[in-house]
Structure 1
Amino acid sequence: LVYAGEVELLKQTIKEMEKDHGHGKDSYERRISELEGRLHEEEQKVFQMEGERRKLQNTIQELRGNVRVFARLRPFLPNDKRGPDEESAITVNVDGLSMSIVDPNKEGQQRKEHKFTFDKAFAAHQGQEEVFQEVSEFVQSALDGFNVTLFSYGQT
């Protein structure tokens, strides 16, 4: 009997705590539902924006030209030289869009230069990273589901 009052008080406290817990649980469930709804909306936006990015990427590709020609001059190797002061007969011009080939010097004749233009010309000192940077948009287009062909000729 002595503890009957305390037991009753504890029972009342437990009921109040269960009631508060129920309200808190409902509040959390509503919040979770709201956040899941927002997450779904944001996922839809990302999906739409990804589609837009793909279209724009393809438009850029078409504007730049569906067929492009790049050329890369390989480094001048020691075995390529005939003499210690001899230079390469092929040079990439400063514009980065053309290469020039100069006929070998023949006695008494003026050296003739032949110029070839490309969408991009890479000099001998430019590495694989720079070449990949230029062709990476083709890789992205392929990943986006567009048809792409990269044709390479020669040793790299």
Structure 2
Amino acid sequence: MSDRKKAVLILLACYILYFAWEYNYNRIPKNYTIGIVTNITTGFKADRNVEYEFIYSAKLFNSGFGKGDYSAKIGDSFIVEFEEKNPKNSRILLYYPIPDSLNINPPRKGWSEIPNEVKIYRKNRTQIYGLYDRLFKSKTDQKKTNDRK
């Protein structure tokens, strides 16, 4: 097998694993809260990562996630989604910024869905070259589409 075919097969396998992981992750029940960017670091091959913290059930959690093309600075607030049973598994949703003018406090256990007053500030997603929203629509987005029909 040629090196080019091997590279294509490896790339294809990576995409399949990524989509399988996303599919399973999206099926797990999640809650939402507000997270604050604590640091921005340079990761593998100069990719930038956002380190953030959030509070859930009076415990402080720290994590990191790829920054991508989103605008985020230390001290900025965004929605964080996390697994109900394992809050360490979380990701900061950089396409849901929390403006300073929005005075909103999450409940102790977080929200079961992103509040409407935050949804109006939603930005377009940039992952997978802008295809993410088309491939992985959230339940909320699907409900909006069904309600419009």
Query: How does the TM-score come out when normalised to structure 2?
Result: 0.29
Q: As a proportion of its length, which structure holds more helix?
A: 1
Give the structure with the higher percent strand: 2
Task: Return the structure number with greater relative CO, CA threshold 8 A, min gap 6.
Answer: 2
Normalised by the length of structure 1, the TM-score is: 0.28
